[in-house]
Protein backbone atom coordinates (compact mmCIF):
# COMPACT_ATOMS: atom_id res chain seq x y z
CA UNK A 1 0.00 0.00 0.00
CA UNK A 2 1.40 3.45 -0.80
CA UNK A 3 1.87 5.90 2.07
CA UNK A 4 -1.22 8.00 2.86
CA UNK A 5 0.67 11.21 2.13
CA UNK A 6 3.72 11.69 -0.10
CA UNK A 7 5.44 15.06 -0.29
CA UNK A 8 8.04 15.43 -3.04
CA UNK A 9 10.45 18.31 -3.65
CA UNK A 10 8.07 20.80 -2.10
CA UNK A 11 9.22 24.40 -2.57
CA UNK A 12 7.62 27.62 -1.36
CA UNK A 13 9.27 30.97 -1.99
CA UNK A 14 7.80 34.18 -0.65
CA UNK A 15 8.79 37.39 -2.36
CA UNK A 16 10.65 39.77 -0.06
CA UNK A 17 9.62 43.29 -1.04
CA UNK A 18 12.55 45.04 -2.66
CA UNK A 19 13.10 48.60 -1.49
CA UNK A 20 14.28 51.57 -3.50
CA UNK A 21 17.90 50.47 -3.41
CA UNK A 22 17.38 46.84 -2.57
CA UNK A 23 16.81 44.26 -5.26
CA UNK A 24 13.76 42.04 -4.88
CA UNK A 25 14.67 38.71 -3.33
CA UNK A 26 12.83 35.65 -2.07
CA UNK A 27 12.49 33.94 1.29
CA UNK A 28 13.05 30.25 0.70
CA UNK A 29 10.54 29.26 3.39
CA UNK A 30 10.35 25.66 2.17
CA UNK A 31 13.26 24.52 0.06
CA UNK A 32 12.96 21.07 -1.52
CA UNK A 33 11.22 19.07 1.18
CA UNK A 34 10.24 15.40 0.73
CA UNK A 35 8.70 12.91 3.15
CA UNK A 36 6.04 10.20 3.45
CA UNK A 37 3.39 9.75 6.13
CA UNK A 38 2.00 6.25 6.66
CA UNK A 39 -1.65 5.68 7.45
CA UNK A 40 -2.34 5.78 11.19
CA UNK A 41 0.98 7.27 12.25
CA UNK A 42 1.92 10.54 13.93
CA UNK A 43 4.63 12.26 11.97
CA UNK A 44 6.23 15.27 13.67
CA UNK A 45 7.89 18.33 12.16
CA UNK A 46 10.22 20.12 14.55
CA UNK A 47 12.70 22.96 14.18
CA UNK A 48 13.32 26.54 15.21
CA UNK A 49 10.93 29.39 14.58
CA UNK A 50 10.81 30.33 10.90
CA UNK A 51 12.28 27.04 9.70
CA UNK A 52 9.25 26.40 7.47
CA UNK A 53 7.15 23.91 9.45
CA UNK A 54 3.82 25.74 9.22
CA UNK A 55 4.40 26.71 5.60
CA UNK A 56 4.99 23.05 4.73
CA UNK A 57 1.68 22.12 6.37
CA UNK A 58 -0.20 24.96 4.70
CA UNK A 59 1.17 24.03 1.27
CA UNK A 60 -0.01 20.45 1.77
CA UNK A 61 -3.60 21.65 2.21
CA UNK A 62 -3.08 24.35 -0.43
CA UNK A 63 -3.92 27.05 2.09
CA UNK A 64 -0.96 28.68 0.35
CA UNK A 65 0.01 27.66 -3.18
CA UNK A 66 3.41 25.96 -3.30
CA UNK A 67 5.98 27.29 -5.77
CA UNK A 68 6.70 23.77 -7.01
CA UNK A 69 6.74 20.12 -5.98
CA UNK A 70 4.14 17.43 -5.42
CA UNK A 71 1.82 16.43 -2.64
CA UNK A 72 0.10 13.08 -3.13
CA UNK A 73 -2.79 11.94 -0.97
CA UNK A 74 -3.75 8.28 -1.39
CA UNK A 75 -1.58 8.35 -4.52
CA UNK A 76 -3.37 11.32 -6.13
CA UNK A 77 -1.62 14.60 -6.83
CA UNK A 78 -3.40 17.21 -4.68
CA UNK A 79 -1.62 20.12 -6.31
CA UNK A 80 -3.10 19.39 -9.73
CA UNK A 81 -6.68 19.08 -8.43
CA UNK A 82 -9.13 21.52 -9.98
CA UNK A 83 -11.41 23.47 -7.61
CA UNK A 84 -14.22 20.95 -7.18
CA UNK A 85 -11.89 18.01 -6.65
CA UNK A 86 -9.83 20.06 -4.21
CA UNK A 87 -12.93 20.83 -2.14
CA UNK A 88 -13.70 17.12 -1.99
CA UNK A 89 -10.11 16.36 -0.97
CA UNK A 90 -10.31 18.95 1.80
CA UNK A 91 -12.95 16.84 3.50
CA UNK A 92 -10.24 14.27 4.08
CA UNK A 93 -7.49 16.67 5.16
CA UNK A 94 -8.03 19.14 7.97
CA UNK A 95 -5.98 21.52 10.05
CA UNK A 96 -6.00 22.42 13.75
CA UNK A 97 -4.32 25.72 14.54
CA UNK A 98 -2.02 26.89 17.27
CA UNK A 99 -4.02 29.73 18.68
CA UNK A 100 -7.45 28.77 19.99
CA UNK A 101 -8.15 32.47 20.62
CA UNK A 102 -7.80 33.85 17.12
CA UNK A 103 -8.72 30.82 15.05
CA UNK A 104 -12.42 30.83 16.01
CA UNK A 105 -14.82 33.49 14.73
CA UNK A 106 -15.78 35.44 17.89
CA UNK A 107 -19.22 36.35 16.54
CA UNK A 108 -20.32 32.78 15.83
CA UNK A 109 -21.80 30.44 18.40
CA UNK A 110 -19.74 27.33 19.14
CA UNK A 111 -22.34 25.03 17.58
CA UNK A 112 -22.40 27.06 14.36
CA UNK A 113 -18.59 27.04 14.18
CA UNK A 114 -18.56 23.25 14.32
CA UNK A 115 -21.49 22.98 11.91
CA UNK A 116 -20.07 25.36 9.29
CA UNK A 117 -17.98 22.80 7.33
CA UNK A 118 -21.11 20.62 7.01
CA UNK A 119 -23.06 23.59 5.65
CA UNK A 120 -20.31 24.52 3.20
CA UNK A 121 -20.13 20.97 1.90
CA UNK A 122 -23.95 20.67 1.90
CA UNK A 123 -23.96 17.60 4.11
CA UNK A 124 -27.17 16.49 5.80
CA UNK A 125 -30.43 18.26 6.51
CA UNK A 126 -30.63 20.81 9.33
CA UNK A 127 -31.82 18.26 11.88
CA UNK A 128 -29.09 15.73 10.97
CA UNK A 129 -26.44 18.41 11.15
CA UNK A 130 -27.65 19.39 14.64
CA UNK A 131 -27.31 15.80 15.77
CA UNK A 132 -23.88 15.49 14.23
CA UNK A 133 -22.71 18.66 16.00
CA UNK A 134 -23.94 17.38 19.36
CA UNK A 135 -22.16 14.09 18.69
CA UNK A 136 -18.94 15.96 17.83
CA UNK A 137 -19.23 17.99 21.03
CA UNK A 138 -19.42 14.80 23.06
CA UNK A 139 -16.56 13.26 21.07
CA UNK A 140 -14.16 16.04 22.09
CA UNK A 141 -15.41 16.20 25.68
CA UNK A 142 -17.59 19.31 25.42
CA UNK A 143 -21.08 19.56 26.87
CA UNK A 144 -23.71 19.84 24.08
CA UNK A 145 -25.65 22.08 26.47
CA UNK A 146 -23.08 24.77 25.58
CA UNK A 147 -23.75 24.75 21.82
CA UNK A 148 -25.14 28.28 21.92
CA UNK A 149 -22.25 29.87 23.74
CA UNK A 150 -19.74 32.18 22.08
CA UNK A 151 -16.00 31.36 21.96
CA UNK A 152 -15.10 33.90 24.66
CA UNK A 153 -17.30 31.99 27.09
CA UNK A 154 -14.99 28.98 26.86
CA UNK A 155 -11.54 28.44 28.36
CA UNK A 156 -8.47 28.03 26.13
CA UNK A 157 -8.53 24.24 26.37
CA UNK A 158 -12.25 24.17 25.55
CA UNK A 159 -11.71 26.45 22.57
CA UNK A 160 -9.06 24.08 21.26
CA UNK A 161 -11.66 21.32 21.60
CA UNK A 162 -14.11 23.39 19.52
CA UNK A 163 -11.43 23.78 16.83
CA UNK A 164 -10.87 20.05 16.94
CA UNK A 165 -14.60 19.27 16.70
CA UNK A 166 -14.80 21.53 13.65
CA UNK A 167 -11.81 19.80 12.05
CA UNK A 168 -13.47 16.43 12.69
CA UNK A 169 -16.89 17.44 11.34
CA UNK A 170 -16.26 16.05 7.84
CA UNK A 171 -14.74 12.79 9.16
CA UNK A 172 -11.24 13.45 7.80
CA UNK A 173 -8.58 10.77 7.79
CA UNK A 174 -5.61 13.15 7.97
CA UNK A 175 -5.12 16.07 10.37
CA UNK A 176 -2.36 18.64 10.43
CA UNK A 177 -2.04 19.90 13.99
CA UNK A 178 0.11 23.04 14.04
CA UNK A 179 1.30 23.57 17.63
CA UNK A 180 -2.11 22.53 18.96
CA UNK A 181 -1.23 22.94 22.63
CA UNK A 182 1.53 25.53 22.81
CA UNK A 183 -0.91 28.35 23.61
CA UNK A 184 -2.54 26.37 26.41
CA UNK A 185 -1.85 26.31 30.11
CA UNK A 186 0.53 23.61 31.24
CA UNK A 187 -2.12 21.75 33.22
CA UNK A 188 -4.48 21.78 30.21
CA UNK A 189 -1.97 20.63 27.57
CA UNK A 190 -2.02 17.02 28.74
CA UNK A 191 -5.83 16.89 28.46
CA UNK A 192 -5.75 17.97 24.82
CA UNK A 193 -2.87 15.63 23.95
CA UNK A 194 -4.72 12.71 25.54
CA UNK A 195 -7.78 13.65 23.51
CA UNK A 196 -5.75 13.73 20.28
CA UNK A 197 -4.33 10.28 21.06
CA UNK A 198 -7.76 8.84 21.96
CA UNK A 199 -9.31 10.20 18.76
CA UNK A 200 -6.49 8.77 16.70
CA UNK A 201 -7.29 5.29 18.07
CA UNK A 202 -11.03 5.68 17.81
CA UNK A 203 -11.21 7.25 14.35
CA UNK A 204 -8.02 5.79 12.83
CA UNK A 205 -6.58 9.25 12.19
CA UNK A 206 -3.20 10.09 10.72
CA UNK A 207 -1.44 13.18 12.13
CA UNK A 208 1.15 15.62 10.97
CA UNK A 209 2.15 17.22 14.25
CA UNK A 210 4.06 20.51 14.22
CA UNK A 211 5.57 21.26 17.60
CA UNK A 212 8.21 23.11 19.57
CA UNK A 213 8.05 20.95 22.66
CA UNK A 214 10.39 18.08 21.98
CA UNK A 215 9.38 16.23 25.14
CA UNK A 216 5.87 16.05 23.74
CA UNK A 217 7.07 15.05 20.28
CA UNK A 218 9.03 12.20 21.75
CA UNK A 219 5.97 11.07 23.64
CA UNK A 220 3.43 10.99 20.84
CA UNK A 221 5.18 10.64 17.45
CA UNK A 222 6.22 7.57 15.54
CA UNK A 223 8.56 9.45 13.22
CA UNK A 224 10.18 12.88 13.29
CA UNK A 225 11.60 15.25 10.66
CA UNK A 226 13.87 18.09 11.78
CA UNK A 227 13.71 21.28 9.71
CA UNK A 228 16.39 23.93 9.51
CA UNK A 229 16.21 26.95 7.18
CA UNK A 230 13.50 25.47 4.98
CA UNK A 231 15.04 22.01 4.63
CA UNK A 232 14.77 18.68 6.37
CA UNK A 233 18.20 18.00 7.85
CA UNK A 234 17.35 14.76 9.64
CA UNK A 235 14.43 12.34 9.60
CA UNK A 236 13.77 8.98 11.18
CA UNK A 237 11.92 6.92 13.75
CA UNK A 238 11.45 8.83 17.00
CA UNK A 239 14.04 6.70 18.81
CA UNK A 240 16.59 7.23 16.02
CA UNK A 241 16.22 10.99 16.29
CA UNK A 242 16.21 11.20 20.08
CA UNK A 243 18.81 8.58 20.85
CA UNK A 244 21.03 8.66 17.80
CA UNK A 245 20.92 12.17 16.37
CA UNK A 246 23.58 12.75 13.73
CA UNK A 247 23.01 16.22 12.35
CA UNK A 248 24.65 19.06 14.33
CA UNK A 249 21.40 21.05 14.30
CA UNK A 250 19.40 18.11 15.72
CA UNK A 251 22.03 17.67 18.40
CA UNK A 252 21.90 21.36 19.32
CA UNK A 253 18.09 21.31 19.39
CA UNK A 254 17.92 18.24 21.64
CA UNK A 255 20.54 19.59 24.01
CA UNK A 256 18.52 22.77 24.49
CA UNK A 257 15.46 21.03 25.93
CA UNK A 258 15.16 21.90 29.62
CA UNK A 259 15.24 18.78 31.73
CA UNK A 260 12.93 18.59 34.70
CA UNK A 261 15.45 16.77 36.82
CA UNK A 262 17.39 19.33 38.89
CA UNK A 263 20.25 16.83 39.23
CA UNK A 264 20.59 15.98 35.56
CA UNK A 265 23.85 17.17 34.02
CA UNK A 266 23.49 19.95 31.49
CA UNK A 267 25.45 19.53 28.31
CA UNK A 268 24.55 22.21 25.81
CA UNK A 269 25.69 21.79 22.26
CA UNK A 270 25.92 25.06 20.35
CA UNK A 271 25.36 25.03 16.64
CA UNK A 272 28.07 26.61 14.53
CA UNK A 273 25.95 27.79 11.55
CA UNK A 274 28.90 27.58 9.19
CA UNK A 275 29.18 23.87 9.98
CA UNK A 276 25.88 23.24 8.19
CA UNK A 277 26.12 22.59 4.47
CA UNK A 278 22.79 23.91 3.21
CA UNK A 279 23.01 22.00 -0.04
CA UNK A 280 23.83 18.60 1.47
CA UNK A 281 21.36 15.94 0.30
CA UNK A 282 19.61 13.53 2.67
CA UNK A 283 21.35 10.17 2.87
CA UNK A 284 19.98 7.04 4.53
CA UNK A 285 22.49 6.09 7.22
CA UNK A 286 20.36 3.30 8.74
CA UNK A 287 17.02 1.81 7.77
CA UNK A 288 14.61 4.76 7.70
CA UNK A 289 17.12 7.19 9.27
CA UNK A 290 18.05 10.05 6.94
CA UNK A 291 20.66 12.74 7.54
CA UNK A 292 21.74 15.67 5.38
CA UNK A 293 25.48 15.18 5.02
- Which residues contact ligand ATP (rule: CB under 6 A)? 14, 27, 29, 47, 49-55
Q: Give the chain's largest Cα–Cα span.
A: 61
Of 134 and 237, nearer to other proteins (C-beta) is 237
**Region of 18-26, 69-77, 100-108, 151-159 interacting with other proteins (CB under 8 A):** 151-159
Residue 220: contacted member of Mg ion, other proteins, ligand ATP, none (CB under 5 to 8 Å, by partner type): other proteins
Q: How far is the CB of 3 from other proteins (least distance, A)?
A: 20
Q: How far is the CB of 175 from ligand ATP (least distance, A)?
A: 17
Say if residues 123 and 71 touch (Cβ distance below 8 Å): no
Choosing from 10, 12, 33, 54, the residue that interacts with Mg ion (CB under 5 A) is 54
Of 47 and 163, nearer to ligand ATP (C-beta) is 47
114/215 Cα distance (integer angstroms): 31
| Binding flag, residue 16, other proteins (CB under 8 A) | no
| Binding flag, residue 221, Mg ion (CB under 5 A) | no
**Region of 52-60, 119-127, 180-188, 263-271 interacting with Mg ion (CB under 5 A):** 52-60
**Region of 15-23, 100-108, 120-128, 153-161 interacting with other proteins (CB under 8 A):** 153-161
266/241 Cα distance (integer angstroms): 19
32 by DSSP, 3-state: which?
A: strand
- In 3D space, the residue among 36, 8, 13, 33 whose CA is nearest the CA of residue 25 turns out to be 13
Q: Which residues pair with 278 in a beta bridge?
A: none
Of 7 and 162, nearer to other proteins (C-beta) is 162
Give CA angle at 286 (284, 292), nearest 5°.
35
DSSP class of residue 194?
A: H
Size of the site for other proteins (CB under 8 A): 41
Residue nearest Mg ion, Cβ-based: 54
- In 3D space, the residue among 135, 207, 196 whose CA is nearest the CA of residue 169 turns out to be 135
Residue 214: contacted member of ligand ATP, other proteins, Mg ion, none (CB under 5 to 8 Å, by partner type): other proteins
Choosing from 22, 122, 125, 263, the residue that interacts with other proteins (CB under 8 A) is 263
Residue 25: contacted member of Mg ion, other proteins, ligand ATP, none (CB under 5 to 8 Å, by partner type): none
User: Please, is 70 exposed, middle or buried when counting C-beta atoms within 10 Å of its C-beta (0-12, 13-18, 19+)?
Assistant: middle
184/190 Cα distance (integer angstroms): 10
Choosing from 155, 171, 204, 288, the residue that interacts with other proteins (CB under 8 A) is 155
83 by DSSP, 3-state: which?
A: helix
| Binding flag, residue 203, other proteins (CB under 8 A) | no
107/129 Cα distance (integer angstroms): 20
Say if residues 210 and 45 touch (Cβ distance below 8 Å): yes
Q: Give all strands of the β-sheet with 25-37 in edge-to-edge order.
A: 25-37, 5-16, 68-73, 76-77
List of residues contacting other proteins (CB under 8 A):
48-49, 155, 157-158, 185-191, 193-194, 197-198, 212-216, 218-220, 238, 252-253, 255-264, 266, 268, 270-271
The contact set with Mg ion (CB under 5 A) reads 54
Amino acid sequence: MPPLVEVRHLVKHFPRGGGLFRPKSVVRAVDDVSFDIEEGETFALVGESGSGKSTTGRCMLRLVEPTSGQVRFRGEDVLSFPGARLRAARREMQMVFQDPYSSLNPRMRAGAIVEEPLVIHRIGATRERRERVAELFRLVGLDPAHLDRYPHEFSGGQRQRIGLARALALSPSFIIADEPVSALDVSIQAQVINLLMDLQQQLRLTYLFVAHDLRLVRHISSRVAVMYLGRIVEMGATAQIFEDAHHPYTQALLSAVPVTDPDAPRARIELEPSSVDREAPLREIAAGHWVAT
